[in-house]
Amino acid sequence: MNRRLFIRRLSLLMALGFIEPNFLKAGKSKARGFRFGLLTDTHYADREAVGNRCYRASLQRMEDFVQSMNQEEVNFVMHLGDFKDEAPEPTVASTLNYLRTLEAAYGKFHGPRYHAVGNHDVDSISKAQFLAAVENTGIPKYKSYYSFDSGGWHFIVLDGNYDREGKDHHKGDFDWQDVNLPAPEFVWLMNDLKENHLPTIIFSHHLLHEVQHQYQYHLNNAAEVRHLLEKFGNVKAVFQGHLHQNVYQQINGIHYLTLPGMVDECGKEKTSYALVELTDDKIVIEGVGHQQARVLDIGI
């Protein structure tokens, strides 16, 4: 086990009362629930840092994440979007090279892996090109929004990369703040929720709730999407990227958790990702690097 993750886990579980202070002597531990690895906004590109975004560092950080998740034997890994970035003078060839390089590192995880599409994933390539170069295990290549079941849970991955008219964001020819769940995806989501009776987790690059910021990071129709999620009563939490900040809100019984970006800040020890454990009554988030640890009550 990664030593840093072990220390964080031990401190978190002792604080929560999940293990006794004499854990190391007695060898007592709480049985594990269903677990997955979660990260976002790697923005990998072979280019110099700009501001606090250290593009090249994301490759090593991804390798460290995958190694840790393999050691932890989590059930799957999920990336919340902005997987790769582009060169200062981008070409399709260079962008696809960055994408394939990072996907090769992500692909060393010994289990299912998944992606949500972020706005930077379609900056100088099409959504179809992005999807063709990555693996969403068991999902047809052409699907940018989809769902799957695992460990007695239902997981839904959304794609907000559409403008107000429902047009696909394509090769950088779009306003990154004009993001929406178009009508076909909204109807698909409604039917998916209606047909599902398992406790459910939502993954989205774009935020499904509003935050105070000079730019817009939420879907234009975020309120309508939230209302839909609330209607069926089985959605327990929404995990989001895009904002590059730790942000948490609980709205009408659903937890909304935004993760910081892995690309942010230079330095060997800098990174950000989460190990998420689902139990019958809690979602336990173990944070590494900038990611904050949290325990969310769900009461299934």
Closest CA to 180 of 143, 213, 147, 206: 206
215: Cα separation from own chain's centroid? 21
CB 102 within 8 A of CB 44: yes
Consecutive 10-residue averages of pLDDT for the chain (300 residues): 55 49 37 89 97 97 98 98 97 98 98 98 97 98 97 98 94 93 98 96 97 94 98 96 97 97 93 96 96 92
Which pLDDT value is given to residue 22? 39
Instruction: Give Cα separations from 235 to 2, 110, 203, 225, 252 (angstroms).
Output: 32, 28, 11, 12, 11
pTM for the full predicted model: 0.90
pLDDT per position as a tens digit, 23-54: 333 333 345 689 999 999 999 999 999 999 99
Closest CA to 2 of 295, 273, 278: 273
Which pLDDT value is given to residue 53? 97
pLDDT per position as a tens digit, 153-190: 999 999 999 999 999 998 988 999 999 999 999 999 99
Which pLDDT value is given to residue 269? 86
Sheet with 254-258, strands from edge to edge, namely 146-150, 153-157, 200-204, 235-240, 254-258, 247-251
Q: Could you tell me the domains of the chain?
A: 1-31 (no CATH), 36-297 (3.60.21.10)
Those residues whose C-beta lies under 8 Å from the C-beta of residue 98, and which sit 6 or more positions away, are: 44, 45, 46, 84, 85, 86
CB 114 within 8 A of CB 77: yes
DSSP state letter for 18: S
Q: Assign 3-state DSSP to the chain and report helix, strand, coil percentages, each to 5.
A: 30, 25, 50
Which pLDDT value is given to residue 170? 87
Which pLDDT value is given to residue 268? 81
CB 232 within 8 A of CB 193: yes
Count helices and strands in the chain by DSSP H and E runs: 7, 12
Which pLDDT value is given to residue 5? 59
